[in-house]
A and B are shown apart, each in its own frame.
Chain A
Amino acid sequence: MSRPDGDRAPRLFGRPVPPRTVAWLTVVWLLLWGELSVANVLGGLLAALAVVWLLPLPARKPALRIHPARLLVFLAVFAADLVISSARVAFWALRFGTVPPMEIVEVRLRTSSEVMAVLTVVALSALPGSLVLEARLADGELILHVLGLTGDVQGRTREDVAKLEARIVAAFGTTADREELR
């Protein structure tokens, strides 16, 4: 995930080289090689600089800020959700002869940030059992297809999505984003 930097990124041979992107790419490089060494760090820096310089993206203000502690919380809950949700879908999939309960739910997001909304959409899509059919980001509206839940599906889903959104904004949101949800 490259983090957008501000307009005032340092320049190299006349082209902006956003330092946060370079740092992120170097980390990815190290993860790919799986070894922390001087050669790999230098190689990573070089590769990152080359990539960013040769194929630039338009510069813009950062729309993402990571809070390490809250990121851990988000990841832990997300992992738990992943397990529960997979088990639920597997349960229904193995009951031959019965049609699992399905429902279409319309959810309204509270954040106005497109990045936060997109992250929520990606997280929802990654969970088995919930699928984003349509995302109207301009209105902050999502249409979900929910599989395997019974009872008050609409209410529970809206509640779950709102909690997920809150965790995401807490982990990745800028100050303005967090103000919005308060």
Chain B
Amino acid sequence: MEPLLILHAVAAVCAPALVRRFGRDAFLVLALPPACGFAYTLWAVVTGTPVASHHDWAPALGLGLSFRADALSLLMMTLVTGIGALVLLYCSRYFSAGEEGLGRFGGALVAFAGAMLGLVAADDLLLLYVFWELTTLFSYLLIGQDPASRAGRRAALQALTVTTFGGLAMLAGFVMLGEAAGTYRISQLVAHPPAGGTVPAALALVMTGALSKSAIFPFSMWLPAAMAAPTPVSAYLHAAAMVKAGVYLLARLSPAFGEAVPWRVAAVSLGLLTMVLGGWRALRENDLKRLLAYGTVSQLGFLTVLFDTATRGAALAGAAMLGAHALFKASLFLVVGIVDHAAGTRDLRELSGLRRSAPWLCAVATAAAASMAGLPPFFGFSAKEAAFESLLGGGLGRSATLAGVVLGSALTAAYSLRFLTGAFGSPPGREPTPLAPYGAATFLPPALLAVLGLAAAPFASWYGRAMDPYTATFAVPGHDAHLALWSGAPVPLLLSAAALAAGALLFAAGDRGARAGRLLRTIDSGRVYWALVRGTNRFAGQLTGVVQRGSLPDYLMIAFATLAGIAAFALLHGPVTTAGPVVVLWKRAEQPVVGVLLAATAVLAPFARSHIVLALLVGLTGYGTALLFLAHGSPDLAMTQLLVETLSLVAFVLVLRRLPIVPEEEQRPRVPPAVRAALGLVTGLVAAGAGVLAVNARSETPIGTLLAGPAERSGATNIVSALLVDIRAWDTLGETTVLVVLTLGVTSLVFLRRRTYALERPPAGHRRPPGRTYWLTATLPPGERAAVLEVVARMIFHTLLLVSVFLLFTGHGSVGGGFAGGIVAGLSLVVRYLAGGRYELAVAAPTGAGVLMGLGLLLSVATAALGMAFGGAPLRAFSADLAVPLVGKVHLSTVLLFDLGIYLTVLGMVQDILRSLGAELDRQIEEEAR
């Protein structure tokens, strides 16, 4: 199974290249994977079932690559792969040679075929879910194939929203089911179904997913809208494959849970409702494709009814209908595609005389439509007979179901007639539609499918026997049903005749029937959907307006109040600490001195009038904290804090240029200052209290003493850097990534209105004034020149960079590391920017900030991959000592590579901050001043 899926994936990835090379002929190549799948399925049918395989994927999650091909799966696999191959063949001539986006389309279609194959063969609920969502995603791409079409985009989004909504509900249901059963394997779950507890709720959730995927009421609106997709997509996704996924899931779980009455009654009634409503609506449609779409909705309802009746007979009829429907509906869709392209329209009010100009096409369509209407001797007839027979007997509910199904069949017969006369008839007084020629490659697939609908009928009883292993899994036999070309049972035959006659009458009634259908518009679920979407959008907008006021003080107060709330909750409900906190006031004399200064700065800060003074005071508390770290004996922390503080100060100053010097007083502060002060105090108490409690809550010996050993083994004499780049390297990698994302976020906000992120180079005329000494490549405008800074920048630039390199290398053994080195290197850029302005930054920066960050992340990830490839675990570090003549021992380690990655990333981030908060703000200020 896996090789087939891999083949699909490879074909999907290669599709754009193939299309570029061979044009639309590439579809012939792309048809190979589904064709291989078809061959495999045939082989499995011949050699006997079931074929099962299992490989562990994520055993800790109980997730495995489990595949199982039993009778039902094989039926679906046959449809998915066979029709998939035919549709791809059809595509090779359906599209015009130079059509845009064919590569993407081909890739998505093959990928969809692969996902669908995986879905019907999966024997694991979670695996099935993965494939389920993949089909949703690819269908989104396929429906929205034409990005310029608004209808296409809307339809794609609608299909995505509805099916994803169902899919998420289904996932929750799957997890509940799997937990209740203790296994996620579908075969085991069906053999020993769990009961009671959360199972009914789980089933309701799963059913929501299945119904949404199969466009059953109230989720039916997305399918007709999805007709905006190219016709091959409709033929494949909306007739044979994707919409059947929901029905397939119902059929799969029905043997186990069909006796759960609420589930059965709900599914059967919704199915009936869908069957009747869809059929009725099809009578009113003038667009051939939409007519077929509503017909599909109706038939999907029919299938739901059959599988959820949950008797052996009904399941047999369902399995037959499943195959028959795929054959005739795919064929009809493909015919519509040909008509649409050859005649230039698919509106049945405009078409005329196609019976004469395209007799073969007409014959194919007639055969398929006859199967759809249930005429003998077509396969559709056998399936419908079996359905009627299986629904005989039983109580009132069963009889009502039968009546509904007969009514639905009458409607089916009526819209089949409507389709045929509309597409191929010649209404009096209408000129014959001119018809362009169409190729054999487009004609053969629908012809083959239609012929199969006729040829399969004699083998109906064989088909029924092949389905026995599946139908036997149902506990309730129900009324006997026979699948045969001519079963001869009198009651079903009578019902069939009645349905056909009623269908003919309905068709003859024409407009009157349609007008009656228009009354049903009040429950048009498409309108309900869009009303819901609009309502959600409006609600979201209002909620955002209330919650996100754009006031930083408000956000801060919400955050602080939440913290205070958590603390209060913890105090009231948390475990009572037995030991009172032991507080050591200080261990070294520096600590109280620095502490008092720090506290004094913090007390002063709220009284600062101007932003810049406030920023400086806050910076001072940061530097003070660095001193405290140093006094406590952690130079690594102290240096990092010092560097970060410096950098934040620079960022603060750069941003504050855009703000008024003194904050504008709020007209009427929403929260009085006293409350704010109290909140601040409480927050401080909570933070300090939590710290004291956390330290005193320690009951085990600290592991710090145990770290020396592992650090030495990793070749580092500095435990902190061993922690950062080796022992907890995953954390570091994650944190670096988060930092990059944050930086990019800030940058993109600043560059919101610009198309380019690139730094502007100085314009050609921008030269220094003649006769001036000149230290850097660019200077600030004459009035703002900072000559002292220019000279100093020139003097220390390279030295700072060298120190940063030194820090990078020395981190392994003593204080330093990639992070500190990166910041120091960044500060050297800061110095040049401050002295020379934005043009100087453009010259000084070695390369784009994005390149640096990307390169850095790449290096870090490559180190991880290296460890995985050669050491068995990601990020496993290697080191080697090389003896170089004259030099002596040289210690090499992949840890250094990881650190270099961090260095580059941090340098890139600093450059990004300068580029956005510095250079771009400069440019905006200049522009506004102009």
Indicate if B776 sits at the interface (CB-CB under 8 A).
yes
Could you mark each residue 126-156 of chain A with 1 if its beta carbon is under 8 Å from any beta carbon of chain B, else 0? Answer: 0000000001011000000000000000000
A40 to B788 alpha-carbon distance, docked (Å):
33
Do A38 and B887 contact each other (CB < 8 Å), given the known contacts A28-B799, A54-B846? yes
A114 lies within 8 A of B773 (CB):
yes
- Complex contacts, B846 vs chain A, CB 8 Å: 54-55
What mask results when residues 74 to 105 of chain A are scored 1 for a CB within 8 Å of chain B, else 0? 00000000000000000000000000000000
Say yes or no: A60 contacts B886, CB within 8 Å: no
B659 adjacent to chain A (CB < 8 Å): no
Q: Nearest 8 pairs between A and B by C-beta?
A: A118-B791, A137-B787, A39-B887, A51-B801, A1-B795, A2-B798, A32-B806, A58-B777
Which chain A residues in 18-36 approach chain B with CB under 8 Å? 21, 24-25, 28-29, 32-33
A52 touches B798 (CB 8 A): yes
Query: Smallest Cβ distance from B846 to chain A, in angstroms?
Result: 6
Interface residues on B, range: 20 to 34
Say yes or no: B794 contacts A4, CB within 8 Å.
yes
Q: Is the CB of B802 within 8 A of A137?
A: no
The contact of B774 among A60, A118, A137, by CB within 8 Å, is: A60
Q: In the complex, how many angstroms separate the beta carbon of A97 from the nearest chain B beta carbon? A: 21
A42-B887, A122-B792, A135-B787 as given contacts; A25 in contact with B774, CB under 8 Å? no
Given contacts A32-B806, A58-B777, A118-B787, contact A38 B798 (CB under 8 A): no
Closest Cβ–Cβ distance, residue A80 to chain B (whole Å): 24
- Specify the chain A residue showing the minimal Cβ separation from B845: A55
Q: Which of B776, B791, B801 contacts A115 (CB 8 A)?
A: B791
Chain A residues with a Cβ under 8 A of chain B: 1-2, 4, 21, 24-25, 28-29, 32-33, 37-39, 42, 47-48, 50-52, 54-55, 57-58, 60, 63, 113-115, 117-118, 121-122, 135, 137-138
* 17 additional A-B residue pairs with CB within 8 Å, beyond A24-B799, A122-B792: A1-B799, A2-B795, A2-B798, A28-B799, A32-B806, A33-B806, A39-B890, A42-B887, A52-B798, A57-B798, A58-B777, A63-B773, A117-B787, A118-B791, A122-B788, A135-B788, A138-B787
B888 within 8 A of A: yes
Give Cα A118 to B835, complex, Å: 14
Q: Is the CB of B890 within 8 A of A2?
A: no
What's the least CB distance linking A105 to chain B, in Å? 18
Q: In the complex, A42→B888 CA distance in Å?
A: 12
Whether A2 pairs with B887 at a CB distance below 8 angstroms is: no
B805 touches A57 (CB 8 A): no
Binding site for A on B (CB under 8 A): 773-777, 787-788, 791-792, 794-799, 801-803, 805-806, 810, 828, 844, 846, 886-888, 890
Contact in complex: A47, B787 (CB < 8 Å): no
Chain B nearest CB: distance from A109 CB in Å? 13
Query: How far in angstroms is the closest Cβ of chain B from A16?
Result: 13
Interface of A is mostly: helix
Q: How far is the CB of B780 from chain A (nearest CB, A)?
A: 14
Residues on the A chain within 8 Å of B886, using CB? 38
Q: Which of A33, A60, A114, A138 has the most CB of B within 10 A?
A: A114
Chain B residue contacts of A57, Cβ below 8 A: 776, 794, 797-798
By a CB distance below 8 angstroms, the chain A residues around B806 are 29, 32-33, 47
Point out the residues of chain A lying under 8 angstroms from B791, CB to CB: 114-115, 118
Cβ of A63: which chain B residues have Cβ within 8 Å of it? Answer: 773
B801, A58: Cβ atoms closer than 8 Å: no
Complex Cα–Cα for A137 and B791 (A): 11
The reply to whether B794 and A51 contact each other, CB–CB distance below 8 Å, is: no
Assess the B844–A137 pair: CB atoms within 8 A. no
**Central interface residue in B775, B792, B801, B802, by most chain A CB within 10 Å:** B802
Collect the chain A residues with CB atoms within 8 Å of residue B777's CB: 58
**Chain B residues within 8 Å of A25, by CB:** 798-799, 802
The CA-CA distance from A32 to B806 in the complex, in Å, is 8
Residue of A nearest to B804 (CB): A51
